[in-house]
Amino acid sequence: MIRILNRKEINDQLWNDCIELSPDGQAFFYTWYLDACCPEWSALVEDNYSAVFPFAHRSKFGIDYIYQPFFTRHFGLIAKSKTDFYKQEAFLSAIPSDYKYLDFCLHTAHQQLPEGIIPEHKIYQQLSLRTDYSQIQKGYNENLVRNLKKASKSGYILKHNFQPEAVVDLFYTHQKALREEFKEADYRTLKNLMISAAKNTTTYCWAVQDPSGEIHAGAFFIKTKTQLLYLKGFSSEKGKKQGAMHFLFDQLIQYHAGQDITLDFGGSSVKSVARFYYGFGSIDCLYLRLKINRLPTALRWIKS
């Protein structure tokens, strides 16, 4: 039986055990991750947490709707065993009709939607780290190899135990093209998410510095059972020219090569960003954006 539970009714231990055991479990679905990103979230829960489906919701002009918060990427059905379309459809159908507008994404196991729903296709990039480093390195493209040589000549060294707050602050300073996409509250959310992740799982907050000690790149990663997630990072103008971020990711890959995990680059449909990820030999993963508008015709201009 599928039940609808609000956040206060959810048993964290049983929920997180389900995520841990699921073939579709990712960092995005743990309670601590959802709590950091979603002011309000609820879930569809089957039996004794054998399957769960989280979703974030809020209200606008008195209308309840479901949306995809920053830093979460997707929701969807997560179960202790592999699911099929019919079970996925049952959970989607169980979303309460009280939510009149739905705009959120489904993870990669959802490759088909109920009849009449036309999804938007989205992609992210990932790289298997299961083989040894020399094997992974064979997938590097020529541009990446050139940038790693530049980084080597610059004398870059890796700084461990960098501070999450510094990553966020320097992201704001250096990633000017992305600055307008984030509100002040989003930067606070990002910092809180990093702090929460560090309390609940293994994280890596690394920076790249030159021989003088100046920082030219930094990034924050979250490691769970099967995933190494790149959450957010930055690169200075000088760092971009000298391959600082290429160096950082290469060091991360060397450190984790041979482990049964996947490096999730966070992904992007932006060609220049995706090109950086492809340089490491990453592949595209398809996921679907779902939009359902149940609003009366006169109110369909209202969006999240």
CATH of the domain at 169: 3.40.630.30
Q: What is the pLDDT of residue 114?
A: 87
Flag whether 27 is in a domain.
Answer: yes
Please report which residue ranges of the chain form alpha helices under DSSP H.
12-21, 31-37, 85-93, 133-137, 142-153, 164-174, 176-179, 184-200, 237-241, 244-256, 271-278
The domain in which residue 83 lies consists of: 2-124+286-299
Same domain, 114 and 154: no
Flag whether 274 is in a domain.
Answer: no
Contacts of 286 (CB under 8 A, 6+ apart): 108, 111, 121, 122, 123
How would you write the pLDDT of the chain (304 residues) with one tens digit per residue?
Answer: 999 999 999 999 999 999 999 999 999 999 999 999 999 999 999 999 999 999 999 998 889 999 999 999 999 999 999 989 999 999 999 999 999 999 999 999 999 998 888 899 999 999 999 999 999 999 999 999 999 999 999 999 999 999 999 999 999 888 777 777 788 999 999 999 999 999 999 999 999 999 999 999 999 999 999 999 999 999 999 999 999 999 999 999 999 999 999 999 986 667 778 899 999 999 999 999 999 998 766 555 555 4
Same domain, 53 and 86: yes
Flag whether 276 is in a domain.
Answer: no
Same domain, 168 and 252: yes
Measured CA angle at 86 (ends 127, 14), to 5 deg = 65
Q: What is the pLDDT of residue 85?
A: 92
Same domain, 23 and 113: yes
Flag whether 267 is in a domain.
Answer: no
Same domain, 241 and 200: yes
Flag whether 233 is in a domain.
Answer: yes
Same domain, 113 and 181: no
Please count the structural domains in the chain: 2
Same domain, 116 and 11: yes
Same domain, 69 and 143: no
pTM: 0.94
